[in-house]
Structure 1
């Protein structure tokens, strides 16, 4: 096993499997530009290395897979994307298509951007203590990193809309029941189980696996073509909401530890 450290991420090789770990446990693996650089750069490395047959993405520690965007970095005026690679999207991952199968090993809380990271992977293994949810409506925002259209595409639309409208989280057991994830692993074992799943993929003909992924997603020019209009709509709605009073009230109420007062304007 080989291990390298990039900005914001730890990269390991286990046979033909690359394991990418968001390495900010002190910030519950919240995403800043260093995470986007590290994860996005590792995906590029994996895409260009014929020895890599599958990719596992996880977060450092056992409590938090990813806490979403780093709000402290945002408050300082910092950008979250990888400079020069804004097209990779949130965490260098959500819009960063690679032909090789990706597995999210969710090792704890995955709310907001954390759930959106998981939704961006092809497969999901979650520890028993994992939770998923899109709480953005509780903050006057929307899940702008793909969550509002990928969740209804991956589970029953009615269940997805309930999660999106309420913002309430669900457990790993519930996520398995509704088909959001592939497997539940014992606490602390999500990466181990995800690697085992990746190894089951890695024994197959790599070009066949990659071609199958492209066809399954309707990939054209390294983009999931059917998502292009949804990304544009999501960005437009985000920009419109960002100008509203409610979008300012949500984060302020959270910071002040009080219930928000919505004005619908």
Structure 2
């Protein structure tokens, strides 16, 4: 969590993937509504809620959700690349019943993850969705037994860490750049994000042919 909070994740060459989770059985219930009317906010200028919802990280980040991921907590999870959730976790934006709507792109990201009518039901009613149900339409990548979300997320992070070091950043850059781009222009975007000049490309091919682990150089 310290890496995410201070922004050192991208600068640390030894860190290949990150996991964001909560504490004491709760991922995040969002802004403390007892202090919000006084003007107190967990948002960071230019970085969004919790300092992480508006940042364009280049490394894959995984949310490990145990317990509630509500309001800002839902936004924290949606801002990650992958989500692992316990079957008894809950997702929801209760702002609908409390006045404000989210300010961290939860209302725009959710319809990109699940069918429109399901997203609208969650956004308009504010009723939470359980972890098992969230797995069916693809809101989360993995559904685990209670208490196992962090372990599964760390295993997933280990899998991602085996990828060529430059590949995750290129994939994330391509996905972000392709949002709203006309199909005719997507090939140009893809060519720009390609890693054909990287020494890791022939190394990956050679390692596969020789049935050995690649020796990545990130060059």
Q: 1:215 aligns with which of 174, 181, 191?
A: 174
Corresponding residue for residue 52 of structure 1:
15
Q: CA deviation at 1:71?
A: 2.3
Matches for 1:250-261 after TM superposition, within 5 Å: none
Q: CA deviation at 1:69?
A: 0.6
Corresponding residue for residue 89 of structure 2:
130
| Superposition TM-score, scaled by structure 2 size | 0.77
Q: Does 1:165 align with 2:117?
A: no
Corresponding residue for residue 35 of structure 1:
none
Matches for 1:174-213 after TM superposition, within 5 Å: 174-213=133-172
Q: Say if 1:109 and 1:131, in contact at 8 Å, map to a contact too.
A: yes
Q: Higher Cα Rg: structure 1 or 2?
A: 2
| Superposition TM-score, scaled by structure 1 size | 0.64
Corresponding residue for residue 67 of structure 1:
29
81 and 166 in structure 1: CA distance in 2 versus 1, 3 angstrom threshold: closer
Q: Say if 1:40 and 1:96, in contact at 8 Å, map to a contact too.
A: no
Q: CA deviation at 1:142?
A: 1.1
Spell out structure 1 runs of 4+ moving beyond 4 A. Answer: none
Q: CA deviation at 1:74?
A: 2.3
Separation in 1, partners of 2:97, 2:41 = 23
74 and 94 in structure 1: CA distance in 2 versus 1, 3 angstrom threshold: same
Q: CA deviation at 1:210?
A: 1.2
Structure with greater helix share of residues: 1
Q: CA deviation at 1:188?
A: 1.1
Separation in 2, partners of 1:46, 1:113 = 21
Unaligned residue ranges in structure 1 (runs of 5+): 1-9, 12-19, 21-38, 220-224, 227-265
Q: Say if 1:131 and 1:171, in contact at 8 Å, map to a contact too.
A: yes
Q: Say if 1:68 and 1:113, in contact at 8 Å, map to a contact too.
A: yes
Separation in 2, partners of 1:163, 1:81 = 23
User: Secondary structure at 1:210's aligned position in 2?
Assistant: helix
Q: CA deviation at 1:75?
A: 3.7
Corresponding residue for residue 113 of structure 1:
72
Aligned alpha-carbon RMSD (Å): 1.6
Corresponding residue for residue 40 of structure 1:
5
Unaligned residue ranges in structure 2 (runs of 5+): 181-219
Instruction: Tell me the number of residue pairs that the alignment of Structure 1 and Structure 2 aligns.
Output: 180
Q: CA deviation at 1:118?
A: 0.5
Q: Say if 2:97 and 2:126, in contact at 8 Å, map to a contact too.
A: yes
